[in-house]
Copies of this chain bind each other. A is one copy, B any other.
Amino acid sequence: MTVRIGVIGTGAIGRDHARRIQQVLSGGTITALSDVNRASAEAVRADIAPEATVFDTGEDLIASTDVDAVLVTSWGATHEQYVLAAIAAGKPCFCEKPLATTAEGAKRIVDAEVAHGRRLVQVGFMRRYDEGYVALKAALSQTGAPIMVHAAHRNPTVPEAYTTPMAIHDTLIHEIDVFRWLLEDDYVSARVTFPRSCARTHAKLRDPQIVTLTTAKGVVINTEIFVNCHYGYDIQCQVVGEDGVASLPEPMAIRMRLNASLQNPILTDWKDRFVASYDVELQDFLKAAAQGTASGPTAWDGYMAAVASDACVRAQEAEGEAIAITYPDRPDLYTQG
């Protein structure tokens, strides 16, 4: 069965996902498009999915009988309404980050899905599909129960519009989700430590910073966020367990001996780092959608990421103090597997 997909929001990421489904992945076809800027949707139809219908609104698209499942890749502030509409229509829905712009909004989605009684939502936390993280998680069976994680999220530079809280909501959000999955654990507190800021940062951004998360199982996770690190885009993760240490692999690169240096390139653009994992996550969505359900990162994961992010921002404001992270009990819907 070929899953008929409607895409709401045809900006860069929506277009790219449409291309994946039409040209790379198996089992899906784009039948519907919608964008607040209709011309954008028309362009994707022309370039990528000539047989798709362009709808005036996301709600119309979701309602169409030609649509089996939905990709929500619109502006973040609109995610909640479309995901809720897809749940109401009983259609599987892949939603890019954030699931909602507030924890409360994410909780409304969780509640709606729980009420529906079957998983329909996959959140676009693609790192869980990265072959490096997948292999790292598998390796933890050898290194023993985790006790500490030392991590870094480095970016060469950010624009003036990037402020201190965005280091949490736009940057650390990936670590927040992937470490919950990696450790199969939940956060109980957050603390932020600020070294002196680097010379390359600007007035509205304290950079770098170190976020310390502790988990219910007692793991301490230190993540350096350094978004003006200059040298490259670099994601580091080392897990220290009872029996040993396992590290996230470096991206594939050619090692060269050149000009008195043994060297290999480091990526500079975040878009190149996890590009392969987008294919895998969407293929996973198509496979589950063909069964009328969803797999991968859940609405609950999206909600928990929102809760933890909010706490981290409060921890930034309370520099050096530990902020408790609390959340309701996990609904049964999300405890399978």
Chain A contacts to B: CB under 8 angstroms: 22-27, 131-132, 135-136, 138-139, 142-143, 145, 147-148, 150, 152, 191, 193-196, 198-200, 208, 210, 212, 214, 217-220, 222, 224, 226, 229-232, 234, 240, 242-250, 252-268, 283, 320, 322
A231 touches B219 (CB 8 A): no
Determine if A195 and B222 form an interchain contact, defined as CB atoms under 8 angstroms apart.
Answer: no
Known A-B contacts A243-B230, A253-B249; A262 and B263 likewise in contact (beta carbons under 8 Å): yes
In the assembly, what is the distance between CA of A22 and CA of B23, in Å? 14
By beta carbon, the residue of chain B nearest A256 is B246
Given known A-B contacts A195-B220, A229-B240, A261-B266, A131 and B252 have beta carbons under 8 A apart = yes
Residue of B nearest to A140 (CB): B254
- B contact residues around A264 at 8 Å (CB): 261-263
Bound complex: CA of A272 vs CA of B14, how far in Å?
Answer: 33
Nearest CB on B from A125, distance (A): 20
> When A150-B224, A212-B193, A252-B249 are in contact, do A244 and B258 touch as well, CB less than 8 Å?
yes
Chain B, residue nearest A210 (CB): B220
4 smallest beta-carbon distances between A and B, as pairs:
A196-B218, A244-B258, A263-B263, A195-B220
> How far is the CB of A233 from the nearest CB of chain B, in Å?
9
- List residues of chain B with CB within 8 A of the CB of A218: 195-196
A322 CA / B230 CA spacing, docked (Å) = 30
CB pair B256 A266 closer than 8 Å? no
Whole-angstrom CA separation of A268 from B150 in the bound complex = 22
A319 → B minimal CB distance (Å): 10
A231/B257 contact (C-beta < 8 A), A195-B219, A195-B220, A212-B193 known:
yes
Q: Which of B25, B232, B254, B261 contacts A249 (CB 8 A)?
A: B254
B142 x A256 contact (CB < 8 A):
yes
- Our pick among B195, B266, B320 for the contact of A262 (Cβ within 8 Å) is B266
**What are 16 A-B residue pairs whose CB atoms fall within 8 Å in the complex?**
A23-B27, A148-B195, A150-B150, A193-B212, A193-B220, A194-B220, A198-B242, A210-B222, A230-B242, A231-B243, A231-B257, A247-B254, A249-B253, A260-B265, A260-B268, A263-B264
> CB < 8 Å: which of B25, B226, B245 contacts A240?
B226
Q: Which residues of B contact A152 (CB under 8 A)?
A: 150, 240
CA distance A132 to B254 in the complex (A): 8
Closest chain-B Cβ to A189's Cβ sits at a distance in Å of 9
Closest residue of B by beta carbon distance from A147: B195
Write the nearest CB–CB distance from A203 to chain B, whole angstroms.
Answer: 17
